[in-house]
Amino acid sequence: MQLLKDTILKEGFCLPGNILKVDSFVNHQIDPKLTYAIGHEFAQRFADEKIDKVVTIESSGIAMALPAAHELEVKLVFARKNKSVLMKEEAYTCDVFSFTKKESKQVYILKKFLNKGERVLIIDDFLADGNAALGLIDIVKQAGCEIAGIGIVIEKSFQQGAQKLKDAGYRLESLARIKSLENCNITFMD
């Protein structure tokens, strides 16, 4: 997706540890025009799939997934990270190792928001080693739902996540695929 790639080159920068910082348009400040274009692109790419729900993970996934859910005319559910003591309802849970925080956290989705047999599109901002996506897949499967596909805004193709998802047979659509961040030089796969 050219607009996304142009914005990454213009505003993105690298941090040690193969981290791409895009907080001026994805992770802190959000660019509505670009975000709605991203939603449109996901909706177009998955137009041939029957999709009943979009699932993402808080917090950065929410803004990236909402426009797609809107265009696909389905509800968006986001996995939450901090279980409140007030939360007594039954939930599907899974432990997810965070690439940026280097710690494992339990994430959950209330059972009432995923219905058996629904076809789910998973959307997230980044794909690195695949832990977030695989955690969401786990939760969606616990609910007896099917995975219609996985939509990623920025795939870091030099890490393991994309291959893991493809090897597991999932349809993966990544809007920008980063080949390398070596020497803080951002290069794309295509």
End-to-end CA separation in angstroms for the chain: 10
35 binds ligand 5GP per the rule CB under 6 A:
no
CA dihedral sign of residues 165, 37, 64, 91: negative
Smallest distance, ligand 5GP to C-beta of residue 86, A: 26
129 binds ligand 5GP per the rule CB under 6 A:
yes
157 binds ligand 5GP per the rule CB under 6 A:
no
155 binds ligand 5GP per the rule CB under 6 A:
no
140 binds ligand 5GP per the rule CB under 6 A:
no
Q: Which of 93, 90, 67, 68 is nearest to 80 (CA)?
A: 93
Report in angstroms the alpha-carbon separations of 89 from 81, 85, 107, 118, 181. Answer: 15, 11, 14, 21, 43
43 binds ligand 5GP per the rule CB under 6 A:
no
Q: How many CB atoms lie within 10 A of CB 31?
A: 17
Please identify which residue in 76, 132, 137, 147 interacts with ligand 5GP, judged by CB under 6 A: 132
Contact residues: ligand 5GP, CB under 6 A: 19-20, 22, 27, 60, 99-100, 124-133, 156, 161
